[in-house]
Amino acid sequence: MEEPIIKISVRNLVEFILRTGDIDNRTSGSLEKDAMLQGSRLHRKIQRRMGADYHAEVALKTKVVCTDFLLLIEGRADGIIENDSGICIDEIKGTIRDLSHIEEPIGVHLAQAKCYAYIYATQQHLTNIDVQMTYCHLETEEIKRFKQNFLFDDLEKWFNELIHAYEKWAKFQIQWKKERDRTIQKTEFPFSYREGQREVVSSVYRTILRKKNLFIQAPTGIGKTMATIFPAVRAIGEGLGEKIFYLTAKTITKTVAEQAFYILRKNELRWKSVTITAKEKICFCEEAICNPDECPYAKGHFDRVNDAVFELISTKDECTREVIEEQARKYHVCPFEMSLDVSEWMDAIICDYNYVFDPDAHLKRFFSEGGTGEYLFLIDEAHNLVERGREMYSATLYKEDFLSMKKLFQSDAPKLAKRLDECNKQLLALKRECETYQVIDNVSHIALKCLNILGEIENYFDEQPSPEKKDALLDFYFQIRSFINIHDILDENYLIYTEMESDGRFKLKLFCVNPATNLQRFLAYGNSTIYFSATFLPVFYYKNLLSVNPDDYAIYAKSTFPEENKLLLLAEDVSTKYTLRGREMYQKIARYIQNIVSVQQGNYMVFFPSYRMLEEVYEQFVNLPTSSINNSVECILQSQYMNEIEREEFLNCFESQNDRTLIGFCVMGGIFSEGIDLAEDRLIGAIIVGTGLPQVCNERELLKQYFDAKKMSGFDFAYLYPGMNKVLQSAGRVIRTESDKGVIVLLDVRFLDNRYQAIFPREWKQYQLCQLNHVTDTVAAFWQDKNKERI
């Protein structure tokens, strides 16, 4: 049998083994790392200037024979210079720092170049070789070089020590994969298949086998989490993928994924998974200030973290938040940074969308130079990815921020203030042309000025400013950096517009209308992507905005719930159109709520299109004429700025054994309209007020115009489909298991329109019409039948 091969890039090898010291976001190096990534165009410019002796982008690799396996190390040297004076390896790094502050090569940069030098010297049988570090300022294009000669024997000794330090990690990887794959072969689906579930499992496996993508419309209750995870695990065991990324939009769906892997482990699967928790949530300090003076876990973190990681991956298969925190405390390291390191050795990573797709927050170790790819992406509640994608790939600047920063730094950083003033004046010129909002073609001149500002900010940071001023400038720095990064990827999927906001602030926005192309940049690292949601209608809408592949598969999984357990009512005599809103309509909605909940004691949720309407209807509800129902009803209201504890307290009110009727007044599209699981008697009714259409605003109108221009029904793309998704999600809170029974009432006459009913799921084909004067009788008849069944 052939010996197994472990692959690693030169860059990943040196950055992993040779890191030392503190986590410190005060140093310019943390900003500099991002600047390095912006320098690819400058790389090519420098390379072209170097003449015939300069060979650019030379691929280099070497195999190192280790005990029981081969280690394949590969990378790409920026340049190799061959002339009469000898051979020189050139490593180019772009920077926005003043070059006078760079007095010697950065350690990991030099180590990277030394690896290339060793590989090339070995292949060419050289006794010595030069290594040159070329630092180039991204704005001025000024260059500073450091050059030194290395004897081959010294390079070989250094390189062998590097490999020896990595060898135990590679051995672990080989041994673990063998054990994992052995158990995968014996793993069976852990439950009896529900109706429709086997079809999902088969479709996911076939999709992965063919290296395609799949959209799954899967109603609640089909068990879509296990139905996607199980075939993906089997595919990994057959070499059809390297790692699973289970991507979620909410914490609760992370927990569901953890439970699915736990169940498979209980069935003797050996499988390693880690859950990535946001830095702000998992940080041991009150505030996530990452430097050794503020955080004791940041001090010496890199000196201890590799030992912490190796022990953890050697002893634990399930790395939940609690496991990560316990290990981080034991080794006195940052739990967030350690979890990212742990992720490299896991078979599955459970994380938020942004750790894969966000240009500022994605895991660069997997999605940049050195990332090997062949991932399997399982994207849960994928309907959320449309708006999240738009947010991640858009960028905004406010003129007022430049002006305030200019005033703040006028005295102690006049060069920076001058740069800020230049950009402020350009934004002022755009402001004078804008009455409400204006679409513009090009803002390259502003992006260039922003790049100049970044350079001056970097210089200012090198001068050790006061912590207060640095904190104020740091957030501004990240806004500008994001703007420049997004500007670099502008294409036909973007609109650039300016807007005078209602509070008087002037905004310039790079607006990503269709995020599909940007998402694809990261999905291209994978073999296959499985998108799934309980509300994927109409599927062509999501295909257009989440994928660039016209031949993606799509399936509609059959619901497992008995149709007779649900009463779906459409009101004929209510409308929430803006022109019809007022006290009379709010009172009518309140009476609808009263009549529906008066029939059967239990827990209900009423979903509104806005907090304002929620409050208006609630006021009418509590002022309805006194009756027995009002005396036995408790109301709780979702507020606009609830923290995590308040959310939990709200949901804890929905107990199945309440001695009175509970009504939760909530908003569509909010934290309680999706991702919560109130099974059995914890929720027996949902009343959806209105069609969920987004409010008319400049940005929605721009969306409408954009899609109209592409002959794609702008109103539907900008308003109808996003609105109906909120309706479907809200309605989906009621029936969560096969034994659940409940009422869903849609209060808006527009639901009778064919355009809306075309988006109804198959499970909504059986509905009844209702009016206020007889809704009580209809609901009473339903519950009478259900209560008889219980007896």
pLDDT score recorded for residue 40 = 58
Longest pairwise C-alpha distance within the chain: 100
Q: Give domain limits for the chain.
A: 5-171, 185-271+347-393+515-560, 282-346, 397-510, 563-790
Unique residue bearing structure tokens 């170097």: 50
Q: Average pLDDT, stretch 355-368? A: 89
Looking at the predicted structure, is the pLDDT value of residue 539 above 80?
A: yes
What is 5-171's CATH number?
3.90.320.10
pLDDT score recorded for residue 44 = 65
Instruction: Please state, in angstroms and as integers, the Cα–Cα distance from residue 773 to each residue in 588, 595, 780, following that order.
Output: 11, 9, 13
Q: Are strands 506-512 and 494-500 parallel, antiparallel or unpaired?
A: antiparallel
Q: Average pLDDT, stretch 75-98? A: 88
Given pLDDT bands bounded at 50, 70 and 90, which one contains residue 99?
Answer: confident
Give the integer Cα–Cα distance in Å for 753 and 724.
Answer: 13
Contact predicate 560/221, CB 8 Å = yes
User: Any idea of the CA torsion for 678, 684, 687, 688, to the nearest 10 degrees?
Assistant: 40
Given pLDDT bands bounded at 50, 70 and 90, which one contains residue 28?
Answer: very low
Average pLDDT, the chain: 91
Beta bridge partners of 398: 507
Looking at the predicted structure, is the pLDDT value of residue 510 above 80?
A: yes
pLDDT score recorded for residue 100 = 86
Beta bridge partners of 768: 569
pLDDT score recorded for residue 29 = 45
Unique residue bearing structure tokens 């739990």: 335
CATH topology match: 185-271+347-393+515-560 vs 563-790 = yes
CA 676, chain centre distance (Å)? 19
Tokens of 135: 């630092």
Looking at the predicted structure, is the pLDDT value of residue 125 above 70?
A: yes
Q: Average pLDDT, stretch 525-541? A: 95
Spatial neighbors of 546 by CB under 8 A, at least 6 apart, are 382, 385, 386, 389, 515, 516, 519, 531
**Percentage of the residues of the chain whose pLDDT score is greater than 90:** 74
Given pLDDT bands bounded at 50, 70 and 90, which one contains residue 139?
Answer: confident
Looking at the predicted structure, is the pLDDT value of residue 30 above 70?
A: no
Given pLDDT bands bounded at 50, 70 and 90, which one contains residue 31?
Answer: very low
Of 89-98, 347-356, 473-482, give the lowest mean pLDDT range: 89-98
pLDDT digits (tens, 9 = 90+) for 614-663: 999 999 999 998 654 556 899 999 999 898 899 999 999 998 677 889 99
Other C-beta atoms closer than 10 Å to the C-beta of 414 total 11
* Lateral strand order in the sheet of 395-398: 395-398, 506-512, 494-500, 437-440
Looking at the predicted structure, is the pLDDT value of residue 337 above 60?
A: yes
Class for domain 563-790, per CATH? Answer: alpha beta
- DSSP string across 574-625: ----GGG-SHHHHHHHHHHHHHHHTTS-SEEEEEESSHHHHHHHHHHHHTSP
**Percentage of the residues of the chain whose pLDDT score is greater than 70:** 95
Of 162-166, 641-645, 727-731, give the lowest mean pLDDT range: 641-645
Looking at the predicted structure, is the pLDDT value of residue 718 above 80?
A: yes
pTM recorded for the entire structure: 0.90
Q: Average pLDDT, stretch 15-39? A: 67
Q: Average pLDDT, stretch 594-615? A: 96
3-state secondary structure 73-106: EEEEEEEEEEECCEEEEEEEEEECCCHHHCCCCC
Residue range 185-271+347-393+515-560 in CATH 3.40.50.300: yes
Looking at the predicted structure, is the pLDDT value of residue 341 above 50?
A: yes
Class for domain 397-510, per CATH? Answer: mainly alpha
